[in-house]
Structure 1
Amino acid sequence: MREGLVIRPLPHYLNAMGMLKDVSVTGGFGDLVAVFRQSEPGERLLPAVMAIACTSFILFLFWLDPKVNTYTYVPQEVVYVENWTHDRTDEEILQDRWQVQCLKDKLAAKRRESMKELGRMSGMDVEAIEADIEAERLARGEVEVDRPAGLQC
């Protein structure tokens, strides 16, 4: 609506509608009691009891859930990094790296052997597969790095 230069907002449509004027809590309970009186006792009572029981069970689970399997804080174990001195030589660094590589190679060999055993149990020709893999590796140009003399794995 417009009155001169002022534009008045239109009233909200929900204010004009009397939606809740005919609603009464006591009337609702009265209707519920009337429905139960008109029908057979088990006809409406059993579904009502089941609905109340299901709702109560769900509400009980909501109440119980925060109390079950709650996380309790466990302080983490502090792991300190190994520190080395600044005066380490390149040979000492390489020796440490080769020792770590030896451990990795042992774990890889152990895993490779267990996979071979699984392949044999499955009926595969493990030696032929291994020969094919070795041929592909050599075709790609991968070579085994020579290990330093005196390295004990």
Structure 2
Amino acid sequence: MEIRQCLHPSAPPARQKTAHSCLIKNRSLYVRYLRWRLSRPEDAKDAYQNFCLKVLRQRDAPDDGAQAEAWLQRVLRATLIDHYRRRASRQRGEEAYTREPREDRNGPEADAVPLYRCVCLALQRLKADHTELIRCIDLEEAPRAGLPPSRV
């Protein structure tokens, strides 16, 4: 490792200078390509940022200008494919989430009111001590141990 890199870790090594200069020189071409391939400009900007990060993180970029441009195009296509995969994965997750059953007004709470009325009508037909026992244990969820032995 060079002393310059130790002092300035953000400074690119000599091998990366060619790739960085190609990245800067062809920025508009890369952005235009991504905007052409992606439907939303925000997605193109995100993909371009990911592309730049991949290039900047890569340590073994080609030295030659033509090789560097070809390498950048391969990285750009790989970044685009990664973006498509993430988007497809996100869409699958959103679809699965929409298929999940939800408890809303049409769910169990909506059925509870008529059911409670039905239970109350049935309790009226029972003996008073049976009605009180069912009301304490089942409806009020009182523990059986807490009830007097005469009621259980």
With CA pairs under 8 Å and 6+ residues apart, which has the higher RCO, 1 or 2? Answer: 2
TM-score, with structure 1 as normaliser? 0.31
Select the structure of larger CA radius of gyration.
1
Instruction: Name the structure with the higher helix share.
Output: 2
